Amino acid sequence: MKAISLNQPAGVRANAALILSKLLQQQGSLATQLPRSSDGTDASALPLLKELCYGSCRWYFQLDNALAGLLSKPLKAKDLDIRCLLVVGLYQLAHLRTPDYVSINETVNAVALLKKPWAKALVNGVLRQFQRQLSTGNLEYKTDAAQFSHPQWLIDLLKTAWPERWPMILEAGNRHPPMSLRVNRQQISRADYVQALHEAGMGAVTGVYASSAVYLEKPCPVDDLPGFFQGWVSVQDEASQLLPDLLKPAAGQRILDACAAPGGKTCHILETEPEPAEVVALDIELRRLERLHENLHRLALDSERVAVVGADATQTHSWWDGRSFDRVLLDAPCSATGIIRRQPDIKLLRQPTDITRLTELQSRLLDSLWTCLKPGGVMVYSTCSILPAENTEQISAFLTRTPDAVGIPITADWGIACEQGRQILPTDHGPDGFYFACLQKQG
């Protein structure tokens, strides 16, 4: 199908439907499917397109359940775009302040842009029926998936893992995330940066757990942040900002940041300890390493102390020179179930089989990178997952099969102590869901 222009309201809705249909077919992610103004896209249309896509993903399981009750018969597989357009229409009626007549009319107009004029009456009828249901409060969600708008397989895992907390976790996953910043204290103190935000008319408060964290009262483009291009600040969740405190980098140490791109952790290590012997930033995705270089440069942290390497961390023979590291940070690839509020497309993209695949990869990374750590050295393992299989169970299994590995207890006023490591669960206004474990090599 020829690309649909975003220069009209119906085109925005048609594009949202096409993006949603691609996600349901496991094609890309919101990060890769959403256009950018730098690509020549009309910048004025992007906020609405992003809102429709993010919101439709966030509430997909609830909206799709409602849609099933509104259709006299299921749509054919080849009409996935119409089904997705209906979900986009339901999202507007249920969650946006756009006048109902605008949402309905422009969603109906989008049918012609999708080249399926037969569906015009269907879309109009379904949306008006849903509008009546909303006005009367006649909506029933008979399953957990519909009520909490998460996939049932994930809800089942969370019920087992967190039997008293799973509703809170799911509700937090449907909230809009706060915008949190990491202050580069090599350049400005946190107190002075908060003052700079206030002088710029931006409300902000300091984080509770990480000494570099600041929360904005309202999200804004990074271009509007005081000193962003001068390297004063970066966007990073508060939970992730706890990593240097656990890693405890020191002057003269050789440090490995495995799975480093796009560079937030590497930069934070250097902001915390500016005089390591060397920091090796390793990642398998070469394209994302470009962002790492950009972040190092913006924060004035690029130097001969930093080596950026593109390679598979599990294939140590291809990148490791045999010199052991004092510290290893493994922020491992994971299900990302702790950051669903930031990336709601995870609800559509992640599948139960992914958990097995990811835990196997995490095991290989742990085993491979452990060989690079010197005796007495420390490895910090972290994920943005809230599933025990990727976290405390993963570390328990590693300790069982690794005689020279010892778990270091994490004593903190944040998170939940696990059998191994410590877990932060997502909340409405605090950090994302994150897991941490500290391991020391004996000998």
Verify whether residue 384 is a known catalytic residue.
yes
Measuring CA to CA, which residue among 106, 140, 101 is closest to residue 11?
106
Three-state SS for 176-189 is CCCEEEEECCCCCC
Say if CB 127 and CB 89 are below 8 A apart: yes
CA 165 and chain centroid, separation:
21
Alpha helices in 152-239 (DSSP H): 152-161, 166-173, 190-199
Rounded Cα–Cα distance for residues 49 and 55 (Å)? 10
Q: Give the number of other Cβ atoms within 10 Å of residue 59's Cβ.
A: 20
Q: Which of 84, 267, 334, 384 is catalytic?
A: 384
Tokens 């942290």 belong to 301
Say if CB 41 and CB 15 are below 8 A apart: no
Measuring CA to CA, which residue among 428, 262, 415, 423 is closest to residue 341?
428
Say if CB 324 and CB 374 are below 8 A apart: yes
Sequence-ordered list of residues with C-beta below 8 angstroms from that of 175, at least 6 positions apart, any chain = 341, 428
The tokens for 189 are 């103190």
Q: Which residues are catalytic?
A: 384
